[in-house]
């Protein structure tokens, strides 16, 4: 047992998976959960991701050693505002939000002082296109990167909260994730390319296919693995990605423009060198990064 | 046993998989193969996809009951020119090319007469991003659509070749594929959307990532399933897709433009209704077509 009481705010896919991973590995004395959606909270409790459901989140916050914010990003920012005045220096907060720039700035502003709880911004590079506690899995984080963007603290942190920060990193490692520290700005830039862009591309592809085919039955019976796989992320919920787009707009916009331009160049040169050049670059990308040729 | 001697021209992934499927199900008296690449031919022989390798393809063509053209599309068109004068009305030819418009036109011109072999244009909706006989699999076609775009014949076909056409359809069904007949133009239009577009999008995505990150190590360690899956087709060989782009240029260009425009609209409205609209259409696409939410 490494932490006393953990409160998970937001018991959807990631929150409930964190609960399962904590409980399965006996890393915490008690795992308490809260979700504004009563059904999600009940599901998380039923699958064993929580020891108990909190009735009043603020009361549960006061009683927790570590609070894990596992909601979409804009709700995380709201929770940070609410929690900052009621948490003390012996407590710690972390989050699992997909963008880190705004969260890091707010963490420094609201949690920077010595009298405050420590806040460690985090981001597990794991998920599924369809969320919800029902799909939670304690092994979700195995082999995934878990990125942290630590905040500068104005005053030296108390040993207790610095300890909690270390312990949370140990928990995440025990989940099977690979811990990496990054600058928040660099995090958001890199994630725009490796996570947000693939999502937007899948959404665009699925959306044009929906627009083109509507109810036509042909697509389903003809499309193979390529179609299924390239549109899988099309099932991702807008509620989560709206927050990502809101908090990483410039970086995502740049990546979208790059793909638009590349597609345009390929289109204008479907019989010319532009197509070959794109295939060669794409081949190189896969060869250098994914030696397992079946992806 | 349903066919006497089958000659497979092009013993790469699809050709060798056809060989394995024929032999594993004992559908053919003898499976002979030829490939201009001696290594591919040897591999196909070694894995048991062929009973023997032909030394002279033209000689083997003369001795075959059914010829399966399993090369890229432009090479299929070349083979059709070469085979037409040397095949007789008791023989049949089919192909597995990814586009059907030009092949169907040429089939009608070269194979339309009563004194000619029958030509049945076909297209299994199966494949892998990395080809080659070494990755062949007799189960590759299980559950996949196998599209045919039958050619009008000027004169009533002889009963023998009509028989071979029927038998090949039975073989394909025995492979586990679902046979569907389509108009060649409609085939190329639908395949532009469900197959060629996903390929071009994956290639574009992998190419911009290669351009952006080059040798930078971050990407590999941070990127998760979304990145891996959305770029998997980036490994596909230009040699095959060049022929697809050459023979379906207009339709593919139209699909690329649709995605460019959709991405542009999303980019301009990352904080507006355009993003929501795209997600809603994409969600609908997945919901209607892939109830298995893990895709």
- pLDDT per residue, tens digit, chain B (295 aa), is 689 999 999 999 999 999 999 999 999 999 999 999 999 999 999 999 999 999 999 999 999 999 999 999 999 999 999 999 999 999 999 999 999 999 999 999 999 787 899 999 999 999 887 779 999 999 999 999 999 999 876 554 455 556 888 999 999 999 999 999 999 999 999 999 999 999 999 999 999 999 998 877 777 778 888 999 999 999 999 999 999 999 999 999 999 999 999 999 999 999 999 999 999 999 999 998 887 444 4
Distance CA(A94)–CA(A110), nearest Å, equals 13
Tokens of B272: 């507006």
Pairing of strands B122-124, B145-148: antiparallel
Q: Name the DSSP letter for residue B77.
A: H
**CB distance A282–B245 less than 8 Å?**
no
How many angstroms separate the Cα of B282 from the Cα of each of B178, B206, B287?
A: 27, 21, 9
Residue A142 has pLDDT above 90, yes or no: yes
Q: Closest to A202 (Cβ–Cβ): which among B224, B230, B271? A: B230
Whether residue B260 and residue A263 make contact (CB cut-off 8 A), yes or no, is: yes
The answer for residues whose C-beta is within 8 angstroms of residue B213's C-beta and 6 or more apart is A193, B219
**For position B294, what pLDDT does the model report?**
45
A285 closest CB neighbour out of B129, B231, B276 = B231
Q: Does A55 touch chain B (CB under 8 A)?
A: no
Distance from CA of B138 to the nearest CA of A (A): 17
Length of chain B in terms of residues written? 295
Please indicate if any CB of chain A lies within 8 Å of the CB of B271: yes
For chain A, how long is the longest CA-to-CA vector? Answer: 66
User: What pLDDT does A154 receive?
Assistant: 54
Q: Which two tokens stand for residue B155?
A: 């004169």
Query: Are A282 and B220 a contacting pair at CB < 8 A?
Result: no
Does B238 contact chain A (CB < 8 Å)? yes
- A94 near A121, Cβ under 8 Å? yes
Residues of chain B in contact with residue A263, where contact means CB-CB under 8 angstroms, are 200-201, 204, 256, 259-260, 263
Test B221 with A178 for CB contact under 8 angstroms.
yes
Question: What are the CA-CA distances from residue B125 to residues A42, A119, A213, B143 (Å)?
Answer: 43, 51, 18, 10
Taking the Cβ of residue A254 and every Cβ of chain B, the question of whether any pair is shorter than 8 Å is answered with no
Whether B142 and chain A come into contact, CB under 8 Å, resolves to no
Cβ contact B201:A230 at 8 Å: yes
Are B76 and B102 contacting, i.e. CB atoms less than 8 angstroms apart? no
Task: List, for residues A182-213, the tens digit of each pLDDT value.
Answer: 999 999 999 999 999 999 999 999 999 999 98
State residue B288's pLDDT score.
85
Confidence of residue A288 (pLDDT cuts 50, 70, 90): confident
Subunit contact A212:B258, Cβ cutoff 8 A: yes
H helix intervals, A134-289: 159-174, 184-191, 197-213, 218-222, 225-231, 238-247, 249-268, 273-289
Residue A134 touches chain B, beta carbons under 8 Å: no
Indicate the pLDDT class of residue A136, thresholds 50, 70 and 90: very high
**Which of A205, A229, A241 to mutate to probe the B interface, most B CBs <10 Å?**
A205
Output phi, psi for B147, to 5 deg: -90, 135
User: Does the CB of A50 have a partner CB in chain B at under 8 Å?
Assistant: no
Which of A96, A146, A267 is the best residue to mutate to test the B interface, defined by the most B CB atoms within 10 Å of its own CB? A267
Is-contact B26 B19, C-beta < 8 A?
Answer: no
Among the partner-chain residues B190, B191, B283, the one whose CB lies closest to the CB of A235 is B283
Q: Which residue in B200, B229, B276 is closest to A266 by CB distance? A: B200
A67 SS3 class: strand
The distance in angstroms from the start CA to the end CA of chain B is 37
Q: Taking CA atoms, what residue in A is nearest to B281?
A: A207
- A200: phi then psi, degrees, rounded to nearest 5: -65, -35
Nearest to B211 among A201, A225, A281 (CB): A281
Residue among B194, B228, B280 whose CB faces A227 most closely: B194
Q: Does any CB of chain A come closer than 8 Å to the CB of residue B85?
A: no
Residue A294's pLDDT is: 45
Whether residues A198 and B227 touch (CB distance < 8 A) is answered with yes
Shortest CA distance from B126: residue in chain A: A224
Q: Does B218 touch chain A (CB under 8 A)?
A: yes
pLDDT in tens, A30-89: 999 999 999 999 999 999 999 999 999 999 999 999 999 999 999 999 999 999 999 999
Cβ pair B289, A242 in contact under 8 A: no
Joined tokens for residue A152? 């500068």
**Percentage of residues of chain A with pLDDT beyond 90:** 83
Report the chain A residue with the minimal C-alpha distance to residue B188.
A222
Give yes or no for A259 touching B (CB within 8 A).
Answer: yes
pLDDT for B202 equals: 98
Tell me if chain B has a CB within 8 Å of the CB of A181. Answer: no
Contact A293 B241 (CB under 8 A): no
Q: For A213-261, how does the pLDDT look when each residue is reduced to its tens digit (9 = 90+)?
A: 887 777 777 888 899 999 999 999 999 999 999 999 999 999 999 999 9
């Amino acid at each position: 047992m490494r932490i006393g009481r953990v409160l998970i705010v937001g018991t959807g896919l990631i929150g409930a998976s964190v609960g399962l991973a904590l409980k399965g590995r006996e890393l915490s004395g008690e795992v308490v959960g809260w979700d504004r959606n009563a059904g999600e909270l009940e599901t998380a409790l039923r699958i064993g991701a929580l020891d108990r459901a909190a009735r009043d989140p603020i009361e549960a916050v006061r009683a927790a050693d570590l609070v894990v914010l596992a909601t979409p990003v804009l709700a995380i920012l709201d929770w940070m505002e609410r929690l900052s005045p009621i948490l003390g220096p012996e407590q710690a907060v972390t989050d699992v939000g997909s963008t880190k720039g705004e969260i890091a700035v707010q963490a420094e502003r609201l949690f920077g002082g010595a009298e405050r709880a420590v806040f460690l911004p985090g981001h597990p590079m794991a998920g599924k296109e369809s969320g919800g506690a029902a799909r939670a899995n304690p092994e979700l984080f195995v082999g995934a990167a878990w990125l942290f963007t630590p905040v500068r603290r104005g005053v030296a942190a108390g040993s207790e909260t610095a300890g909690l920060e270390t312990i949370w990193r140990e928990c995440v490692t025990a989940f099977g994730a690979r811990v990496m520290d990054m600058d928040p700005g660099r995090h958001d830039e890199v994630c725009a390319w490796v996570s947000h862009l693939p999502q937007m591309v899948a959404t665009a592809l699925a959306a044009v296919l929906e627009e083109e085919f509507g109810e036509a039955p042909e697509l389903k019976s003809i499309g193979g693995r390529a179609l299924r796989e390239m549109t899988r992320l099309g099932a991702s919920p807008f509620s989560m990605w709206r927050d990502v787009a809101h908090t990483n707009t410039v970086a995502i916009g740049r990546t979208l423009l790059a793909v638009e331009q590349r597609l345009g160049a390929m289109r204008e040169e479907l019989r010319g060198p532009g197509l070959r050049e794109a295939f060669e670059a794409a081949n190189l990308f896969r060869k250098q990064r994914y030696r397992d040729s079946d992806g």
